[in-house]
Amino acid sequence: MGCSGLLSRLRHLGSLSQTRPPRRWCVSGAAHVTLWPGGGGSGAWVSAERPRWYCVEAALGQQAGELEARERRQLAQLYEGLIQGHRACLAQSITLVESRHPRKKELAQVLLQQVLAYRKRQEELNGGKPLAFRVGLSGPPGAGKSSFIEVVGKMLTGRGHKVSVLAVDPSSCTTGGSLMGDKTRMTELSRDMRAFIRPSPTSGTLGGVTRTTNEAIVLCEGAGYDIVLVETVGVGQSEFAVADMVDMFVLLIPPAGGDELQGIKRGIIEMADLVVVTKADGDLLVPARKIQAEYTSALKLLRKKSKTWQPKVVQVSSRTGQGVPELWAMLTEFQEAMLRSGELVSRRQGQQKVWMWNVIQESVLRLFQEHPAVREQIPELERRVTSGALSSGLAADMLLKAFSAGH
């Protein structure tokens, strides 16, 4: 069965009854030994030894609970298709990790653990170097992010790279609907067989970066994409979120629009490893040079983000292609310098800790809001807060006490 049919079968997994006892996970010598229920209703346990790099850890097995035989088969097909670079399997895998269904979330973690183990083994074969280069792209509306990505992406695929683009689209906070327009604007790149474009709705997520974007990056790398571009909405907190999941953060600035330095937060400029002035052609060439000079001066006054790299400002034109090869040379220079110093590896390790705590905070908040004692008091306390009869701090303390008393 192809990848296109896997997700439709996985839709039924959440409602499957779990009648078999939990599987046991143990370690024997240099390999994990996983005990699976035997087929044919015999109730026998079958031992299957797998290499340590491939198997899911015991803790994950306890978390995911029992996997049905059909779940194992479908996840195995999804995993095999993914690591072979099938775009359909990659798309289905990202859809699985984006699901909010409890059972599918467990299955997604099993798949992610397998992909992480595979990626770890490939990195060891690569001398411990990361397999992919992660670049975050952000900027105000009208900066030409989609046009920039298409030009750069086509150049990279032409040089033999595999490029994945995770374009985070804005969602309506009221309806949850998404524009999903980035893929339609990258018409040539979307038809390139060495490229993968995945628009992901924010679903109202603060900052415009979905929680699963970090997991989608792992899946893209497992599928063999050596360049991962993460484009954000470019509204407020999104720049801070994407900077915590990429190797290099690139800020795109259009040359027109008045005093650009007044419209960009100082903290966002400090995060940038590279500032790119877009649309540097025609009548906008002179304003582009002016903006480049302003940002070059501003960066000298700001605190350096890295001990290894001095942020730079460059001009590019997506229409003419001017400056694009030089831009890629600069990105490559950044990657090599950060690898030599060891800062790239330490940055990634710090990012993983940040995202672990982000997931914990989101999960704890969801548990808090769904707690019966808390849910029962929320309407009345909200009414008293909005009427001015109760302070927000006191209402929060009352809800926290109700939550603590229930545990």
pLDDT, one tens digit for every residue, the chain (407 residues): 566 555 555 555 544 434 443 343 333 333 343 333 333 333 333 334 444 444 444 444 444 446 788 888 889 999 999 999 999 999 999 999 988 888 898 899 999 999 999 999 999 998 888 989 999 998 888 888 889 999 999 999 999 999 999 987 655 444 344 444 456 678 889 899 999 999 876 555 544 456 688 899 999 999 999 999 998 866 556 667 788 889 999 999 888 755 555 456 667 788 889 999 999 988 888 989 998 998 888 888 887 888 899 999 999 999 999 999 999 999 999 999 999 999 999 999 999 898 888 888 888 998 999 999 999 999 999 999 999 999 999 999 999 999 998 76
Could you tell me the two tokens for 400?
């926290």
Taking the domains of the chain in order of start, what are their residue ranges? Answer: 55-125, 130-340, 355-405
Question: Are 55-125 and 130-340 equal in CATH topology?
Answer: no
pTM for the predicted model, two decimal places: 0.77
Please tell me the CATH code under which domain 55-125 is placed. Answer: 1.20.5.170
In terms of DSSP bridges, do strands 31-37 and 25-28 run parallel, antiparallel, or are they unpaired?
Answer: antiparallel
List residues bridging with 48 in a β-sheet. 34
> Which of 136, 131, 209 lies closest to 168 in space, CA to CA?
209
The CATH number fitting domain 130-340, selected from 3.20.20.70, 3.40.50.300, 3.20.20.120, 3.40.640.10: 3.40.50.300
The CA distance from 199 to 228, in Å, is 13
Kindly tell me the sign of the dihedral angle through the C-alpha atoms of 324, 329, 330, 331: positive
